[in-house]
Amino acid sequence: MPKYRPNVFKHKVTVLSRSSKGGRFKRKDVPLKDLFSSGPSDTQQKPQEIQHEISVAPCTSSTFSVNVEEEAVNTRKYAAKKIKQCNAWVGKRLLLENAFFESSAPHLPCCSCGTDEGDRVLCLDCGPQVVRCIDCTMSYHEDSNHLHKPQLILDGILQPFPLKPYLRRVDHDCDSRSRKTIQVFDEKGRLHNCWLVTCSCEEECASLVRLNLWPASPDQPRVAFHMDLMNLLHFLLLEGHMSLKGACQSLGCRNGLPLHEVNLLYLNLVSECFEEYRYFRYRCHNLNAVLDEDIKCPACPKENGDLFVSLDANFGLVRKRSSGVSYTDAKHKSLLFAPQEDVDHFVNVYDDHNISNDCSNFQAGDVLRAKNKTKKLDTTGVFGASCRHGFPLSFLNLRHGERLAYAAFTIDCILEKAQPSVKLHVIYDIACTLTAHFKKKKDKKLELDMALPVFHAYGHKMACQVAYSTRWRCGYGLTDGEVMERLWSYLRRFSSITKEMTPAHREDLLTDALLHYSRRKRADIGSSLVLLMDRAVRVKEDSSKALEEI
């Protein structure tokens, strides 16, 4: 916010004036008061450029002064509030520091038995100022709270208090029990050495899941992770776009973990363990054994009505050829991404050459786009579609530039899933070119209603804007067709992670990200539809008033 200056009319502004000879522009500094002075004599003395500005946007000096004074008053109030708040924090610094250090090693009796003799053990995982004697600490952490890190208080100094708890099922007991040592990472990423009690009645990995632990390997695991830790890593990846290595390093800095524990945590997570947990979490939270409607938009028509779909390509989500190969298929298979073999076959046999592109000034749809720029890339980007509410529908990996074959394949996939009674409206950056292409091929998709997104329409000539812009076509209302740009703004931030992945891991991560994006959209769709409805009503009222005034 600008600073308040009492005499604002002392400032000068630069005015461009054209000279009579040669027509060149000259700069001239003019006092600001000359722009807002009143009276015929002042108006006659003003340059022509200044008079033009005044005629276009008239403003009096009194109105301008009132606005500046109001803004200055608000600035002073905000500054005084901020200064008062900062000074209040400064006055409490020493008090807060003393309270923190005094509570770090409190001299309190045992909170369980009340004794005041012997050594004390502080357990911050149990709660603040929770102090117990050694016997009560051992008893309390024997059957529950196994993954706590209590600390022994000796002469005001905190030292580690070693525990090796037993991890066992309380609902099952048999004669074939045995125990083994297992390393467990708790929800903070700290390493624990524990006894795991197992039996021949059940696999060890299943027993760990019952204990809210995720095994690092499916057979005879030696390392396990607390599921709260796995959930934290899951959301750091999907919401914070943080790589697995970066998340492990952040946990190490946050909890003061030694380097070897951080490296051990990362090495065990990166070996298919984390990818499998994400798929496990998806199936459990979405009840995939019962339901399959988790990725569908609840607001779009399912049987009758108009379905509005936006298409677009993103060339930031690439994959390097040197990033390895996949030894298994993607876990999500064709949930959102089309099988690459089907896409490659369709593109190779599809004829989309000799395309007329005289209506657009940008490179969308250029077949030659990737010849010299993508020699070291195995995947040049992602092509996708989403509904007007932002829910992902269908995606595929690009091998070339943004060819029309990819748009045709995506439309075929959407038509295959939609009911015949649903009318499809397609919004695409080069809808005019795609329409001409379908007309030349006499494709049945020519019957579809094609349109240009609102902002991309300005890259086309005026005839295309009038014919294809969503603001001109009937039935589109206030649909801008830019939902894919909003989706790309979220998805493209995974590019630094996915470009080094194998094809299957990359596809699974992008699918997980799209599923997470659709869950966010589903959670907000109620409030967003209300806001859109209010906006539509307001625009209709304003438009009606404007038409009545004409």
Give the 3-state secondary structure of residue 83. Answer: helix
What is the residue extent of each domain of the chain?
A: 1-100, 166-286, 305-524
Residue 10: pLDDT band (50, 70, 90) is very low
Under 8 Å between Cβ of 265 and 189:
yes
Length reported for the chain: 550
pLDDT of residue 163: 87
> Cα separations (Å) of 330 from 168, 234, 365, 369?
34, 18, 28, 28
| Distance between CA atoms of residues 538 and 57, nearest Å | 27
- Torsion angles phi and psi, residue 399, rounded to 5: -110, -15
Helices and strands (H and E) in the chain: how many: 17, 18
**426: β partners:** 309, 450
The pLDDT value given to residue 288: 64
Written as one string, the DSSP assignment of 301-328 is: -SSSEEEEEEEEEESSS-EEGGG---SS
Distance CA 150, CA 162 (A): 8
pLDDT tier for residue 165 given thresholds of 50, 70 and 90:
confident
Task: Please tell me whether the overall predicted TM-score, pTM, comes out greater than 0.85 for this model.
Answer: no
**529 vs 209, 389, 477, 519, 542, CA distance in Å?**
40, 9, 14, 16, 20
Supply the DSSP string of 397-432, one letter for each residue. Answer: EESSSS-HHHHHHHHHHHHHHS-TTEEEEEE-TTHH
Q: How far apart are the first and last CA of the chain?
A: 39
pLDDT band at 550 (very low <50, low <70, confident <90, very high): confident
The CA-atom distances, in angstroms, between 99 and each of 35, 96, 132, 338 are 61, 5, 21, 59
| DSSP-assigned letter for residue 3 | P
Helix or strand or coil: residue 226? strand
How much is the pLDDT for 255? 92
- Give the residue from 415, 336, 417, 349 showing the smallest Cα distance to 383: 336
Q: Please tell me which of 61-75, 239-253, 430-444 the model is most confident about, judged by mean pLDDT.
A: 239-253
For residue 38, the model assigns a pLDDT of: 45
Tokens 């500094």, residue?
29
Please give the helix or strand (H or E) that residue 475 lies within, else none: none
Neighbours of 205 (CB within 10 A): 17
| Residue range 360-419, pLDDT digits in tens | 554 554 544 545 567 789 999 999 999 999 999 999 999 988 889 999 999 999 999 898
DSSP structure class, residue 73 = H
User: What rounded mean pLDDT belongs to the chain?
Assistant: 84
Whether the pLDDT of residue 28 is over 80: the answer is no
The pLDDT value recorded for residue 48 is: 45
Rounded Cα–Cα distance for residues 296 and 302 (Å): 9
Q: Give the CA-trace dihedral at 94, 95, 98, 101, to 10 degrees.
A: -100
Alpha carbon distances (Å) from 545 to 312, 475, 480: 36, 21, 23
Give percent above pLDDT 90 in the chain: 50
> Quick one: pLDDT at residue 452?
92
Q: In angstroms, rounded to a whole number, what is the distance separating the alpha carbons of residues 524 and 516?
A: 13
Positive or negative, the Cα torsion across 482, 486, 489, 490? negative
**What pLDDT band is residue 439 in, cutting at 50, 70 and 90?**
confident
* pLDDT, mean of residues 215-230: 95
In this prediction, residue 186 carries a pLDDT of 94
User: Given pLDDT bands bounded at 50, 70 and 90, which one contains residue 459?
Assistant: confident
CA 379 – CA 497 distance, rounded (Å): 14
pLDDT in tens, 84-142: 999 999 999 999 999 998 888 888 899 888 888 888 899 988 988 899 999 999 888 88
Over residues 168-188, mean pLDDT: 88
How confident is the model at residue 292, as a pLDDT? Answer: 57
Which tokens belong to 328? 């298994």
Q: Which helix (H) or strand (E) is 464 found in, with range?
A: helix 462-468
Residue 352 has pLDDT above 90, yes or no: no
pLDDT bin (cut points 50, 70, 90) of residue 74 is: confident
How far apart CA 146 and CA 161 sit, in angstroms, is 13
Assign residue 190 a region (left: φ > 0; alpha: ψ between -120 and 50; beta: otherwise).
Answer: beta
Q: Residue 374, CB half-sphere, CA atoms under 13 Å: how many?
A: 21
Question: In terms of DSSP H, where are the helices of 288-389?
Answer: 340-349
CA distance linking residue 298 with residue 321, whole number of Å? 39
pLDDT of 478-503, one tens digit each? 999 999 999 999 999 999 999 999 99
Tokens 């899951």 identify what position?
234
Choose between 30 and 121: higher pLDDT.
Answer: 121
Q: Which has the higher per-residue pLDDT, 310 or 103?
A: 310
Angle (CA) 122 126 131, round 5°: 30
CA of 379: how far to CAs of 260, 290, 319, 407, in Å? 35, 34, 5, 17
Give the pLDDT mean for 508-523: 94
Cα 123 to the chain's mean position, in Å? Answer: 37
479 CB neighbour count, 10 Å cutoff: 21
Mean pLDDT of 341-370: 69
Measure the CA–CA gap between 509 and 512, rounded to whole angstroms.
5
Query: Who wins on pLDDT, 1 or 329?
Result: 329
Q: What span, in angstroms and rounded, lies between the C-alpha atoms of 243 and 269?
A: 12
Give percent helix, percent strand, percent coil of the chain, each to the nearest 5: 45, 15, 35
